[in-house]
Chain A
Amino acid sequence: MEFYTVALLLGLAFVPLALGIFLSAKVFNIPDITTDGSFTLGAACFAVFILIPMHPILTTLLVLPVGALAGAATGLIHTKLKVNALLSGILVMTALYSVNLLIMERSNIPLIGAANIFDQVNNPAFLLKNMFIVVLIVLMVTGLIIWLLKTDFGLTMRAAGSNENMIEAQGVNPDKIKVIGLAISNSLVALSGCLVTQLQGFADINMGIGIVIAGLASVMMGEAISNRFKKSSIVMPVLMVVFAAILFRLFIAFILAQGIEQVYVKLFTAALVLVFLSVSKLNFIKK
């Protein structure tokens, strides 16, 4: 049971990542690969700041503008230098590898014994205090994103992704919207990196590699589920992305728990996700 609790915790820590990728990929229609770099950037900044030492809550909040800077860089390269969105993401991600190495000054920073936000709950009888804090953060972030997407600015963002010419005709600068959107998206990813670092107790230069795949998988799975509900509100897609992010980690944990031969683990994970997607597309009610 504890095994699945850890998997659930990790899944919750990856929810901001999934939300960030949802913002860039689904709302803005910009495939953003910067995620690999900004995830590690969040982790690296947290590790370096917490060892100064700095208060953990302050450090977690500080990670957000740092991630936003990375996203803004991608946005500026894409809008001002007219580089293809995918390529600008790749360029920033590659550059961030060096930046992260410079920040960390080594490839791996162990954090056992360092403060983290889970220590802020003073009740020692709280067995699942990690769970409580992570759930709190996830609820806050999800609520914030849903609120943001329903404001005027949020609607402008959604319109920018849907039809850029239309918002330009309405007098809005699409470049500015894209930069701000990518900044928000990457600050969420950096937050996720910071949470995962606190859960696992170290920051490693390679921890972000391939993370965009897991995020995109969660977003696509969430989209597949939410398409079944014919509502036009943005609440359902966001909630389904959150659900899918947690579910993806639980799938991986489930496969690991089966004890099948090691070579097949990744194959079975992919197969399980495929089965889940096919079942979610089935129509149980005959028309």
Chain B
Amino acid sequence: MKYNIPQILILIYVVALTLSCKPQKTDHKDSGKPVIAFLDAFVDETIAQAKTGFYKALADQGYQESDSSITILYRNAQGDIPTLTQACDYFISEKVDLIATNATLSTITAVQKTNTIPVCMMVSPSPKNANLLDAQGNAPKNLFGVYETLAYIDTSVTLINYFFSNAKHLGVIYNQAEPQSVSALEHIQAACKPLNLKVSVVSVSNSSETQLAIQSLISRGIDCFFAMPDNSIFASFEVIAAACKVKKIPVFTSEAGLVKRGALCAYGADMYAWGYQAGEQAVQYLKSDRKTIPAPMLVNKRIRVFNKKVAEYFKIEASLAKFIML
């Protein structure tokens, strides 16, 4: 029988190459240092600031990977839900001491998969808004960290009314697949009602639909636009900013990063500080006897930012001394 030598050799080579790529498996359990997991749902620069803040808080308290005082297992689901679930399963099988979850989807997944391993959340809504309460109205016992309510939306809508008192029509684009956006939208509609602000909504399922969506809103005659803290909006914000600028429509938002990219003003939580606050919570837990899990806490640092160039474009005076100018 004639064997195909080249193909056999290639197969052996490829298998050998793959096997040699396996990383060294260190048994981190017996060294006594904590092993924590960080579960990220998307690859996004804005949300990544929370991760930076979290790691910095750990480092400031003496936990750093570089001096082997802690092991951090990091996984990013890159927007894929099955991958998110599998990453979570991996962490649970590794019996980590803590799972830090960045963004709502990670938090919900982690809490549904485990009720023993503590979950430290950040960039997530309150357990009530994330529909994580049980029948008695209690949040999961292993959930702690830092959350944000939707109160910032009331302030943002008030800001719109303050600067553009004759605005009648507010435009919003959101992604129906993101749970925090749906509840934020309801909140906006409720906040706009007493001010007689009409709200027009277009939903998108990914960032490439944004161009048509914003044109649709503009053709309906919006006076102002509110950018939701939504992954699809973050990715395609340049399209929104450019289209709104041409039509002289101011863009309000809750995210400081978007103000740098062309929004007029933002009032909301600072992502880096959010992650840092969550990191402090995590360190507090790790340094304690690890028997009691603290309660989730509200984010404590919110910032008001304004884009100077855009403010000049809209001819708004500098009576905004109390705002941070970007």
Contacts and interface: CB of A to CB of B under 8 A. Distances in A.
B238 A2 contact: no
A47 to B, nearest CB: 12
A110 B261 contact: yes
A97 interface: yes
B206 A206 contact: yes
A263 B206 CA distance: 15
B79 interface: yes
Contacts of A202: 207, 235-236, 238-239
Residue of B202, B238, B262 contacting most chain A CB atoms (<10 Å): B238
Interface stretch (A63-71, A215-223, A254-262, A274-282): A254-262
A224 interface: no
A152 B147 CA distance: 66
A273 interface: no
Given A101-B43, A108-B45, A253 B238 contact: no
B300 interface: no
Interface in A182-201: 196, 199-201
B109 interface: no
A200 B239 CA distance: 6
B42 interface: yes
A111 B79 contact: no
A3 B218 CA distance: 8
Contact of A6 (B215, B236, B238): B215
A211 B206 CA distance: 11
Contacts of B213: 256
A204 B79 CA distance: 12
A108 B211 contact: no
A245 to B, nearest CB: 15
A211 B200 CA distance: 27
Given A3-B219, A262-B201, A262-B202, A206 B176 contact: no
Nearest to A98: B78
B60 interface: no
Contacts of A263: 176, 203
A207 interface: yes
A253 B217 CA distance: 12
B220 interface: yes
Interface in A241-270: 252-253, 256-257, 259, 262-263, 265-266
B208 A204 contact: yes
A205 B212 CA distance: 19
B43 A10 contact: no
B149 interface: no
Given A111-B238, A256-B216, A263-B176, A6 B43 contact: no
Interface residues on A, range: 20 to 34
A107 B241 CA distance: 19
B44 interface: yes
Contacts of A256: 202, 212-213, 216
A193 to B, nearest CB: 10
B324 interface: no
B242 interface: yes
Contacts of B210: 200
A206 B79 contact: yes
A210 interface: yes
Interface in B189-238: 200-203, 205-208, 210-213, 215-216, 218-220, 234-238
A287 interface: no
Given A3-B218, A107-B235, A204-B235, A252 B212 contact: yes
Interface in A90-111: 97, 101, 106-108, 110-111
A3 B45 CA distance: 30
A139 interface: no
A206 B235 contact: yes
A10 B78 CA distance: 26
B18 to A, nearest CB: 14
Contacts of B218: 2-3
A201 B246 CA distance: 15
Given A3-B218, A201-B242, A205-B43, A10 B206 contact: no
Contacts of B234: 108
Nearest to A252: B212
Residue of B208, B210, B216 contacting most chain A CB atoms (<10 Å): B208
A207 B208 contact: yes
B91 to A, nearest CB: 22
A205 B234 CA distance: 13
Interface of B: 42-45, 78-79, 176, 200-203, 205-208, 210-213, 215-216, 218-220, 234-239, 241-242, 261-262
Given A256-B212, A262-B176, A262-B203, 18 more contacts: A2-B219, A7-B215, A10-B212, A101-B78, A107-B43, A108-B44, A108-B234, A110-B237, A112-B241, A112-B242, A200-B210, A200-B239, A201-B242, A202-B239, A207-B208, A210-B206, A262-B202, A265-B203
12 contacts: A3-B212, A7-B212, A108-B44, A108-B234, A200-B208, A200-B238, A202-B235, A204-B208, A204-B236, A206-B79, A253-B212, A262-B202
